[in-house]
Each structure stands twice: as structure tokens, then as C-alpha cells.
Structure 1
């Protein structure tokens, strides 16, 4: 058997035997609190639509109007003819919202993270990353010419020790961690970074829109300002794309040297218009964050005594199952109860820490949280780890 066929067959067989093979399921209404899969309806606890904007009528109308004006695609990279007044207005809105001089736009958070690290890091540089950072960041660090050092999750003491031993460089953390739903100790991390002459980069994909006054995110909530702030538009803002917020000089450098920016087709102008509208809604409609807060409190009250419960201060609510098989059984049980919540297994999380990743949206109702709690209680009684 040719090399690549043999390698592919072996890898897929191994994934299957380990019970870790992922499957692709067509979903109707995956951007809503209720979804339909194979003609069956479910309450959706798996999206990142924290503020309930992904199917918002105001945003849909904004996109439709913008498509009529701008067309459906940008047709070029930003440095050619792909950058429009719509993109400029989005940049201005981001800077006004988050308090930075410039914003550099990207088609995804994955691209923004990798663009920043690939463009900034050179041979001999030191990169310090939280071990639970997103795959885009860890992969970029591995592929960059820098020396990458990964510190234990949220351990500022270990971060300090690594910097003292190896020298100043770039410290990278998430604001809210996507699989655990916990927040980084940003004040302490910034103190350590400044003390040892490091730059700080924060990926706030899961904090922006949700945390802080006007939804300004993790950094604003912690009253810090990193040199680079990455925000995404496909989660709380309900659309798609990302931006790096930074100084004017860093932005100019990225536009010259970040290959993900220079050589990628720009996001459609209609998309930029819609994201700008989403920012306006996010800043002004506080009721969405208030609704999330109420749902989070209900979730903690109803599930706090269950063995898999993990307390978080964000809409990401991991429910620990343990083994990958138990997580899959739990997800199957929830589906039978009309609830769609995704099982997260290795290699996304560590072995023995498979979980159901429950995410809350402002569009959820309290009775849906109650139904989820009752279904998980039922599962724990039917399939207890150590008795019910």
C-alpha cells in the first residue's frame, strides 16, 4: 500500500478503535437556541452564540442591505482592491469600542492568532504560552522560529520562573478558555510581563461581548491593556472574522509582514457592515448580558451538587464526564431527552477529562436549563461513577 494511503488508513483505524473518531452532522438552525438534526428538534447547548445575535433579525437585515450595496464578496486581498470603506468603518468601530489606535482585520480567529505569532517572532525569541491556549496559538508557536515555553494553566509563578530563566519575549494567554470556561489571571500576568520587559498578547475570543462594561471583554474587565488584543466576530458578535487590536506601528508592521493578511481575500464588505452593526448592538443592549447572568446563576443553582459540575463565571459550562466513552454516553442520553450538547474528548482535552461542553445563550429559557439539569441528574443516577 502506498505511503500516504497506509498512513491515513492506520490513523483513522486508531481513532476509531480509541472511540475518538469525530463525525460531521448536518444541522439546520445551528445558530439558534433550538436546532433540527435529522428532522428531530433539540435545544442547542453547543453553539458559541452567547448573546443570541447569530440569527438576529436586525443583523440579517443589515447584511441583506449591505449585499445589495456592496455585493457578496470582496474579490481581492486587502492590499489590492479588497479593502473598502465598510472595512474602514469596522476598524474605526473596533478602535472606538476597545480603546486602541488600530485594528487589523482577518477572516478568522485562527488566522489572526497565527498571523500575529508568525509575523512577530524571529529565531532566538522566547514565546511563553498557557498550556491550555487554543490550538491555533500552540501550533503557531511550534511552527515559528522562536523558543516556545508552555506554563501550567494560569500559573503566573511558573510563568515568572520561565521568563527569569530564559529572558524576555512574548507572553500569550486567552482571556476566557474555550474548553474550561475559566478566566485568566490577567492582572497578575500583565504584572509579570511588565516586570520582565515582555509584551503581552490576549486572545479574547470567548470574553469579548460577554464580559466587562459594554461587553468590552476580559481585558477591560481586568483594567489591563495588552500590546495585542485578538477578538473574534463569530462568537458573541454572531457573525464571522477577527481582528488584532494594537498600536499604529504594530498594525502597519502586520499589514506589511503578516502573510495571512497580505495574501488572503478580504472578508466581504457586507460582512464588515454586519459586524459593525453587531458591535453597536453589543455595546447598547445590556439586557443580553443580564439574561446570560440570570441563566448562569440558574445553571449553578440547579447543577451545583452534581459530580460533574464545574463552576465558571462565563457562559461556557464544562460538565466533567471522565472517560471518552462516558462522555459519549452522556451526550447520547441528552439527545434522547431532546438536548444537543457536544461531547469533548481527547485530543482536544486531556485523557480522563472528557466532558460535555455546555454553552449558554441569551436566547435560552430558564425552563430549558431546568430540563438540562434534570436530564444530567437522571444520567448520573443511571450510570453513576461511584453510586447515586
Structure 2
């Protein structure tokens, strides 16, 4: 049978309790309520951290963008697909994060692949990645010609040793890139941004941060990791706290010019929808202005931690993401199913997304939740895990 490994591999996923399947949310707007197969659930698995999805001002800006530019860019950015809406959004992002240049991408996955593969086309490049870096960062790094090393999670001492190039077989490279997530997607913990920036400067390396789960949520105006240090290259997605779609990279003028000429993901992809770019300008405005959204997430997160039983293994975090470690895949699925019976949608995260024996519930607390929601969530989790 042609490609007979397909059925074998799927069956193996089922046997390991790692099988995944699509579920369709039939509610018009994915706020704190979702509807799956006709049943309504309190949603604690969304990345709509600031509760901006379906915001009337963003929706209005989206319609304005459609009227002005159409839905589709109709071409790659280097042909005729680069619209005024794209340029205006890039300018807004540069001003917001105090960066020289910005490039837009269709997704964070594409942006990460683009950056690592473009810088990794030179065999003299060396990449140093946190071990918990996102799959797209790892794929981009290992599918390049660069030398790749991974340092223990948030371990500055280990990273320093790797950068020192000590040992008999050490080879010096002037092209060093330190890479990490600003807030780690499955743990919710923050990178040691200031220490990473200082180390990068002392080692004459560049610092690259995937800020998908930081942007909008961290900082007085939601600037993410750039709140703590001047990051050489920042990638952030627009489909989480920003409540639209796509991603961006901020960088120097020189790197911008290089990526425009050598990033295959940028050169050969149709530009993101200009209407979405126009709507994202409004997202940024709201993120900067409405501080209460971040304050509410912080307040509700503290309440959640306070209400959980001490036996519940909760990873310490100051972000919207709260990881409850269960361990075994089957048990994680069982707890998730128990919560569904209580009207709570909380997805079980299993390998290979996380390490073996670290399956978890990934709780996301958003600005559209309220105190009663959090109390009910904590009560239900305590019962389900007991």
C-alpha cells in the first residue's frame, strides 16, 4: 500500500493517548464562551489574552480596510502586493516598539522559519536556542546551514559556557544569534530578557525573541519584551493578544534589506490581507490605550493561583498562561474530560508539544473573564484533580 506508514502512525498516536482531531466552534465570536457540538463551555484555552477579538472598533477598521484596499493583497510584497495599509502598520509597529524597520509575515511560524533560514544560509552562523523554544524556531534553525546549540531552559550560565567556545574543537564565529521566547507558550514563564541582552552585547551576538505571548500583555503599553531591553530582532504574532492575524519582525535597516532580498518565505508568499493590516493598526491603538485589560489579567491570575489547592502543580508565572502539570497523557485527557462535564473547555497539552511525562492543562486567563469565572474554574480543577 502506498504510504502505508500513515495508518500505522495515526494508530500509534491513539495508542499513546496523543491523538488529535479538529473541533469546530460554532459560536459567532470566540470570547469566553465557545459552543462545541451544540454545548456551551467557558473557554480557558483561547489566546485572546486581552479580550479584543470581535471588538467593534477593530471590526469597523477591518471593514474600512476592505472598502479601501480589498480583502486580498493579490501578490507578494515584492511584486504588487505591498499596500499602503502594510506600510502604515509597519510604521505604527516601529514607533510603538522604537525600532528602525519592520516586516510583515503570514504567521509566526513563517516568520521564525524566514529569519533562521535566511541568517542560516551562511555556514559560519551559530544559533543558540533555549531548549523550550517554539517548534518553528527549532525547525528553522535545524533546516539551515548554521551550527545549532541549545541551552538549558532559562539557564544563563549554561548559555555563557556555550558561547565561550571553550574546548579543543572550538571554532570562533562572528555570527552568533541567541534565541528565546519572551514568554514561553506552554509554561507561561518569562525569559531572563535583561540578562540575555547583556550577555548578547558582551559576546557581540544578536538577541532574537519570539514575543508571540508577550506582545500586548507585557509592558505599560503592551510592548512585550522590549519593555526590559533593546532587542536586536523581535518576532511577534498578531493572532493572539492583538486579535487579528499574521506576524511581524522588527530589526535594523541592514537586516531588513537583507531579508527582503534573501528570505524565501517573504519573497515567495502573498502579502497578508491589507484589510487585516488596517484593522491591526486599531488593535495597536487599543492595546496602548486600554491599560485596564492587562491589569485585569494580572488581578484574575493572582486570584486563580490563590484559589487552587496546594496539591495542584502550577508553574509559576506572571503572564496570561498558567500551566498545571498532570504528567501522564491519559490522566491529562481524563481531567480535561471531567472539566468538560462541568462546562469548562480546557485542552490537554501532550507530547510532542511538551516533554514526555509533562502533559498539562494550559489555562489562559483573559480580560473577558470575570471573578466568578475564575472561582468556578479553580473549584472545578480542584475537584477534577483530587
Interval containing the TM-score (normalised by the shorter chain): over 0.9
- The root-mean-square deviation of aligned C-alpha atoms, in Å, is 1.1
For the Cα contact (< 8 Å) 2:312–2:382, is it kept in 1?
A: no
CA distance in 1, matches of 2:230, 2:361: 33
Are the structure 2 counterparts of residues 304 and 195 from structure 1 closer, same or farther at C-alpha, using a change threshold of 3 Å? farther
Unaligned residue ranges in structure 2 (runs of 5+): none
Partner residue of 1:314?
319
CA distance in 2, matches of 1:193, 1:255: 25
Q: 1:190 aligns with which of 197, 205, 208?
A: 197
Deviations 1:169-196 (A, max 9, x none): 1110110000000000111112222211
Partner residue of 2:211?
204
Residue 74 of structure 2 corresponds to residue 75 of structure 1 = yes
Q: 2:184 aligns with which of 155, 177, 187?
A: 177
Partner residue of 1:291?
296
Q: How many Å apart are 1:18 and its aligned residue?
A: 0.8
For the Cα contact (< 8 Å) 2:58–2:279, is it kept in 1?
A: yes
Partner residue of 2:59?
60
Deviations 1:194-230 (A, max 9, x none): 211111111111001000110111231x2x1121111
Are the structure 2 counterparts of residues 254 and 52 from structure 1 closer, same or farther at C-alpha, using a change threshold of 3 Å? same
Q: If the length of structure 2 is used for normalisation, what is the TM-score?
A: 0.95
For the Cα contact (< 8 Å) 2:188–2:323, is it kept in 1?
A: yes
Deviations 1:59-80 (A, max 9, x none): 1111112212221111000011
CA distance in 1, matches of 2:309, 2:195: 29
1:1-388 → structure 2 map (5 Å cutoff)? 1-2=1-2, 4=3, 6-29=4-27, 31-121=30-120, 122-165=122-165, 166=170, 167-168=172-173, 169-220=176-227, 222=228, 224-303=229-308, 305-381=310-386
CA distance in 1, matches of 2:183, 2:248: 17
Runs of 4+, deviation exceeding 6 Å: none
Q: If the length of structure 1 is used for normalisation, what is the TM-score?
A: 0.95
For the Cα contact (< 8 Å) 1:66–1:273, is it kept in 2?
A: yes
Q: How many Å apart are 1:163 and its aligned residue?
A: 1.0
CA distance in 1, matches of 2:127, 2:153: 15
Secondary structure, aligned partner of 1:103: strand
CA distance in 2, matches of 1:226, 1:66: 31
Unaligned residue ranges in structure 1 (runs of 5+): 382-388
How many residue pairs get matched? 377
- Of Structure 1 and Structure 2, the greater helix share is in 1
Secondary structure, aligned partner of 2:79: helix
For the Cα contact (< 8 Å) 1:315–1:359, is it kept in 2?
A: yes
